[in-house]
Amino acid sequence: MKKILISFFALLMILSSCEEVQTPDLGTAGKQWLQFGATNFQGNEADGKILVTVQLAADTNPTDLSIDFSILETSNTQGYTIEPSSGTIIIPAGELEAVIEITPIDNNATNDNISIKLALSENTSYPLGLLGEGLINHETTVTILDDDCTLDLSEFYGTYLANEDGYCDGCYEVVISEGPVEGTLLMANLYETGGTTVVELDNSDPSNPFIIYRSSEFGAVIQNHGTYGPGMATGSSDIPTSTFRTCDKYMDLYFKRCFDAGCFAYNHIQLTRK
């Protein structure tokens, strides 16, 4: 009988020991901490804000919680904005999460991915990192993926679908080929009349790429009008600027059809690569 009782108490001690190991206090009154929601966040340059979450692991949050964070290092300080810029976020009372917003500066330049390393600061009574151990998620890395391409005019050669003012009845085709001089493109059938247009793509400021119409220099006639004769596609300061994208070769064109007698109201045609 004595041996049985000893074995019984030994078993109770083993079970008690196992229970203590297997029941950690995750975010309870006995174990609370602050952490980033992940060790890594990322997004494309053109996708808008990247939301970096900061979380409080706790049962409740009775008052506003002020948390400082810092940028440990970054590969390009000019490639994004951060909010709040003060380096302090607030988890409101009753909430368990706040967000740091990283907004990429979208441009048309190939400037590589941007890496931003953030860290939580020890200015609260809560320990940092997963389980409060300061090993994981007390820091995080945000990666902004560059989604731009270099300007190569030859890559614009090909067939495009033309969409006029948001309307596409089957979308007629426009063919783009090498222009009459270096640095130009020749567009055929831009106004669906079989005529031609010569343009130049200006990417000198990658954040503001635009298109220059050079038809008048090379006699590129977009339309032979029955009444007004030959007309050319012309840009103008009183209409929107024509733009382009280097990666998908998309073009957003605004131009007037100008004749000897004058110009018609402007046209808006969007070209999408087939």
Task: Write out the residue limits of the CATH 2.60.40.2030 domain(s) in the chain.
Answer: 25-145
CATH 2.40.128 in the chain is located at: 153-273
Render each residue's pLDDT in the chain as its tens digit; 274 residues.
434 333 433 434 433 444 443 333 445 445 789 999 999 999 988 888 999 999 999 888 999 999 999 999 999 999 999 999 999 999 999 999 999 999 998 876 777 899 999 999 877 788 999 888 888 999 999 999 987 788 899 999 999 999 987 666 668 999 999 999 999 999 999 999 999 999 999 988 877 899 999 999 999 999 999 999 999 999 999 999 999 988 889 999 999 999 999 999 999 999 999 8
Please state which CATH class domain 153-273 belongs to.
Answer: mainly beta
Q: What is the CATH number of domain 25-145?
A: 2.60.40.2030
From residue 58, how far is each of 39, 44, 93, 206, 265 by CA, in Å? 20, 33, 12, 47, 64
Cβ atoms 54, 71 nearer than 8 A: no
The Cα-based distances of 134 to 15, 127, 131 in angstroms read 31, 7, 8
